[in-house]
Amino acid sequence: MKNILLLLSVSLVLILNSQELPPIQTYTAFDYGGENQNWMISQDSKGYIYVANNLGLLEFNGSDWMPYRSPNNTVLRAVKVIDDRIYSGCYEEFGYWKRNDLGILDYYSLIPKLGEKILSEDQIWDILSYEEWVLFQAGHALYFYNKTSETFKTINSENIIYKVFNVNNQIYYHVANEGIYVLEGGQPKLVINDRIVLEDRVIDVFMHNEKLIILSRNSGFFQFDDDKLSEWNVSSNKRLKELNVFSNIQLNDQSFVLGTISDGLIKINTRGEIEYEINQKNGLANNTVLSLFEDHENNVWTGLDNGINCINVNSSIKTFIDYYGNIGTVYTTLIFNNYLYVGTNQGLFYRALDSKNQDFSFVKGTAGQVWSLYNDNNENLFCGHHLGTFIVEVDVAKSISTILGAWNFKKIPNHDDLLLQGNYDGLYVLQKKNNSWDVRNKIEGFKNSSRFFEINDWNQILVNNEYKGVFVIQLDSTLHEVVDIKRQLELRLGKNSGLISYKGHILYTSEDGVFDYNKNDGKFEKNNELSEKVSPYESAKMVVDQKGKLWLFSDQNISFIDNDNLTNKPELTTISIPSKLRKGVLGFENIQHIEKDKYVIGTSYGYLTLNASQITNESDYFIYLNAVKITDQNDNVRMLPIQDKGDFEHKHGALFFEYSVPEYNKFLDVNYQYKLNGEMERWSSWSGRSSVQFENLSFGEYNLEIRAKVGNQQTRNIVYYQFTIDRPWYITNLAIIVYLLIVLAIGIFVHKAYKFYYNRIIRHEHLKNERQIIQVKNEKLNQDIEGKNRELAISTMSIIKKNEMLRKIKKELKKAKNKSDIGSAVELIDDNLNNTKDWKFFKEAFNNADKDFMDKIKAEHPELTPNDLKFCAYLRLNLSSKEMAPLLNISIKSVETKRYRLRKKLQLHHDDSLVNYILKF
């Protein structure tokens, strides 16, 4: 029995692991910055998600998580967004959060409004909206808060209240050991006290087909009709009785999602049938689901015992993920005889197409790299493998060639028994004989790897080798050897290039665009219409599906081209699935049509299924500004109002703007653009970063514009934020006035300085000129003095010479014998020697040369006689005694006597020089 149970459990795991499930986005405690357990989830009108976490309240805006600690640092158990308030409850505390001008949530407690009714030793477990009331469910009471009057009404219970439910605007609640009550006329009324609700816990109560349905923890679904509780006859009940259900939600489409303890999540359709189960082994972050919530976009959020998941239950994309690595990276897929075959790097696998929960089986003999699959008119399934070529018969592969590296297969026109195969080392012809395929021959003369090739006609083949180019090969009539080969020089070599036939055209695609092969000219010509539609094109792989659509794979999208039924012009349909999310192998992308509009796309971890009919681009997306911050040079951060116009001081710091689009589809990428009018007038490049920083902006007025696109669709709105950076203090109006005054003062100062300088120069020049004039005058005076001195010297010398001559004449006359005859002559000589005219002439000349001397010495020595002054004048001329004797008409000895007498009058000491004393005046 144990072995049987083990086998059943293993089979169940294989089935669950092979399910095609909706995309799941996982958020760990590290991602959201809180603790592990998450008890309740809600959403506001903008789309922001709020989670009651063990740490407190978690807010998620689609880009960043913001944790808020609970008011009293206890576990936050309940959260509910009602209007513009976020109500929450924890141990002995409940109230609401409201966003302030900075974009941050502030908490307001409602406990003071309870009055005498105190929430003591109890926990708030749930919050509901009921008309104008907000209902807080505690362990032993229901607190009804009136939003208008801000008053409370309370309903108490001695036993524990397990859960409260709002069903069609009517309040039901389950009380332990009592049953289910309903509020009528403001009073509780017991409506169900069946054994089931007494012994088991009620997880949910809801209306379905006008009947009250009750979900229990361990007993499954029940319906209440005609005052009787009976089991709801649905197939899922059998499975539910094996589980421990902890949470439940009825979705808008009336289906159900149930969360369990230790068994993950179960999706049940409106008929009560299990669609799929998700647990930790196939994508859920944890097996214990504490809470469930459906958001505005019909995504299901799970609050787990460890983490948070967002499940895109209505996504047009479903995922098959090979969590255990049993299958590997998918390189090719094909539907053949109602089986889905997937070729991977580990071999070929298959399962029945109509059994989504069946595990994949391995095709024996195909271990290793599978490159391609080819359907030969539903007769044979060819497998191109690294080890050669195989024909697959359900679960067994038969080798028909051991030539390494079978890339691809093409039907040779008008020859059902021939196939052309591209290999690592060239081209081969396969032939069918006696219902058996084998290699007929290798085409000689061409040895290049032939992954991409197309047949133009019977014996002309085009081969694209991404490293060597595109070749047009002409074969002989028997397809045995190459008779002519030509490389298409008009095409550039391209690593990511491809070649394919589409609607009678051979197309070559590269980074340069799409090119058509012109059979008449033998050249490729650019197809501008298709090039414009698929640009930019990054993958080498193009696929034509069974419905005639041409599929192309780009970095941000998967696209297909189909012709319009009316105009027959190609139309491009774009599906936003970025390559980083679909995680396929570049150059080996593959897509296979399954049924109607459903396709399977191989990835590096399994595959995706895509329902093209469910894809819509009509959603309304909005972008919101979440925070504005400013930092200074010391990295101090200050929050700023997000609604008002900013006015910032000029500092060398940084401005931060945080924004987001609350979109939670796993396969939709959100990118942002901004431009700062006043700094940059063009939109920035698209980026996934949901914040922008500006540093060291100059003063002035700015207008920041931010927009986003979700997939290929832009948001309906653009965020605007106007702000002004004030002038720095040194260029404010006051500073400018001060600067003007300073400049004016400097101007005045400079003007005066220049005026002073030039006046000084003028004065200097004037003085210089005056000095020059004085110098000229002095020179003239000196010249006059020198002239006077010369005159004085001449007069003196002439007097001396005259007197000497007269003395000599007198002396000679005295020697004459006849005295009488010479007496008159001697008298005449004496008259001339004592002539005062000579002195007057000398004095006048002396005063002209030294006019102040006589006055100075006379003022100093008034006792001097005229003869003394005369003698002093001769001394000032530094005349010797010998020279003065003739002038004074006395002997030399008498001159010395006069010197002695003059010294006494002048009161000179014996050592004093008489001449030097006279010269001092």
For residue 538, the model assigns a pLDDT of 61
For residue 239, the model assigns a pLDDT of 95
Give the chain's end-to-end CA distance (angstroms, integer): 154
Q: DSSP state, 57?
A: E
Q: Which residue has the higher pLDDT, 433 or 838?
A: 433
Question: Tokens 């702000």 — which residue?
Answer: 723
- pLDDT at 755 exceeding the cut of 90: no
Mean pLDDT of the 488-517 span: 86
- pLDDT at 674 exceeding the cut of 70: yes
With vertex at residue 526, the alpha carbon angle to CA 521 and CA 528, rounded to the nearest 5 degrees, is 140
Q: Give CA–CA dist 574/561, Å, rounded.
A: 9
CA-CA distances (angstroms) from residue 23 to 288, 353, 442, 559? 19, 21, 46, 20
- Other CB atoms within a 10 A radius of the CB of residue 585 amount to 16
Q: Say whether 583 sits in a helix, a strand or coil.
A: coil
- C-alpha dihedral (660, 663, 664, 667), degrees to nearest 10: -110
For residue 241, the model assigns a pLDDT of 94
Contact between 43 and 296 under an 8 Å Cβ cutoff? The reply is yes
Q: Give CA–CA dist 350/370, Å, rounded.
A: 13
Residue 5's pLDDT band, with cuts at 50, 70 and 90, is very low
Half-sphere exposure of 737 (CA within 13 A, CB side): 3
Model confidence pLDDT, tens digit, residues 245-254:
999 999 999 9
Q: Single out the residue of 457, 417, 470 nearest to residue 440, CA to CA.
A: 417
Residue 285's pLDDT band, with cuts at 50, 70 and 90, is very high
Handedness of CA 821, 823, 824, 826 (dihedral sign): positive
Predicted TM-score of the model (pTM): 0.77
Residue 695, token pair as written in the block: 């540093």
Q: Give CA–CA dist 62/427, Å, rounded.
A: 52
Helices within 49-162 (DSSP H only)? none
Mean pLDDT of the 94-112 span: 95
- pLDDT at 826 exceeding the cut of 80: no
Model confidence pLDDT, tens digit, residues 525-549:
998 877 776 666 666 567 888 788 8
Q: Single out the residue of 96, 164, 163, 104 nearest to residue 130, CA to CA.
A: 164
Q: Give CA–CA dist 148/134, Å, rounded.
A: 11
Edge-to-edge strands of the sheet including 171-175?
A: 161-166, 171-175, 179-184, 187-192
Q: Give CA–CA dist 374/348, Å, rounded.
A: 13
Q: Give CA–CA dist 590/544, Å, rounded.
A: 10
Mean pLDDT of the 150-169 span: 94
Beta pairing partners, 178: none
Beta pairing partners, 142: 137, 155
C-alpha of 598 from chain center:
39
Q: Give CA–CA dist 87/111, Å, rounded.
A: 13
Edge-to-edge strands of the sheet including 221-225?
A: 202-208, 211-216, 221-225, 228-231
Q: Which residue has the higher pLDDT, 680 or 401?
A: 401
Q: Say whether 818 sits in a helix, a strand or coil.
A: coil
CA-CA distances (angstroms) from residue 264 to 36, 248, 260, 281, 712? 16, 12, 5, 9, 34
Contact between 282 and 14 under an 8 Å Cβ cutoff? The reply is no
With vertex at residue 733, the alpha carbon angle to CA 727 and CA 735, rounded to the nearest 5 degrees, is 90
Burial class (CB in 10 A: 0-12, 13-18, 19+), 275: middle
CA-CA distances (angstroms) from residue 586 to 423, 427, 554, 602? 20, 24, 10, 11
C-alpha of 826 from chain center:
134
Question: Tokens 């206890």 — which residue?
Answer: 74
Range with lowest mean pLDDT among 16-20, 190-194, 456-460: 16-20
For residue 551, the model assigns a pLDDT of 86
Half-sphere exposure of 416 (CA within 13 A, CB side): 7
For residue 860, the model assigns a pLDDT of 84
DSSP 3-state helix, strand, coil percentages of the chain (rounded to 5)? Answer: 25, 40, 35
Type of residue numbered 118:
I
At 284, give phi and psi (nearest 5°).
Answer: -75, 145
Q: Give CA–CA dist 16/11, Å, rounded.
A: 9
Q: Where are the beta strands (DSSP E) in 289-329?
A: 289-294, 300-304, 307-311, 317-321
Q: Give CA–CA dist 502/545, Å, rounded.
A: 10
Number of H helices, E strands in the chain: 14, 65
For residue 539, the model assigns a pLDDT of 60
Element (H, E) at 129: strand 124-130
Q: Give CA–CA dist 379/364, Å, rounded.
A: 20
Contacts of 679 (CB under 8 A, 6+ apart): 694, 697, 702
Residue 283, token pair as written in the block: 């994508």
CA-CA distances (angstroms) from residue 209 to 172, 223, 225, 254? 18, 11, 11, 10
Mean pLDDT of the 915-919 span: 80
Model confidence pLDDT, tens digit, residues 774-818:
777 777 766 666 666 666 665 666 666 666 666 677 766 766 656
Q: Say whether 599 sits in a helix, a strand or coil.
A: strand
Contact between 428 and 458 under an 8 Å Cβ cutoff? The reply is no
Mean pLDDT of the 608-630 span: 85
Element (H, E) at 260: strand 256-260
Q: Which residue has the higher pLDDT, 469 or 531?
A: 469
Contact between 282 and 319 under an 8 Å Cβ cutoff? The reply is no
Phi-psi region of 797 (alpha: psi -120 to 50; beta: other; left: phi over 0): alpha
Helices within 645-732 (DSSP H only)? none
Model confidence pLDDT, tens digit, residues 776-787:
777 776 666 666
- Other CB atoms within a 10 A radius of the CB of residue 715 amount to 20
At 624, give phi and psi (nearest 5°).
Answer: -130, 145
What is the number of residues in the chain? 921
Q: Give CA–CA dist 188/178, Å, rounded.
A: 12
Q: Where are the beta strands (DSSP E) in 624-778?
A: 624-631, 637-640, 646-648, 654-660, 670-677, 691-695, 700-710, 713-714, 719-725
Please report, rounded to a whole number, the percentage of residues in the chain having pLDDT higher than 90.
51
Question: Tokens 């007494």 — which residue?
Answer: 198
Residue 859, token pair as written in the block: 């003022």
Q: Give CA–CA dist 372/334, Å, rounded.
A: 9
Handedness of CA 513, 517, 522, 528 (dihedral sign): negative
Question: Tokens 């710091």 — which residue?
Answer: 653
Mean pLDDT of the chain: 86
For residue 401, the model assigns a pLDDT of 94
Residue 864's pLDDT band, with cuts at 50, 70 and 90, is confident
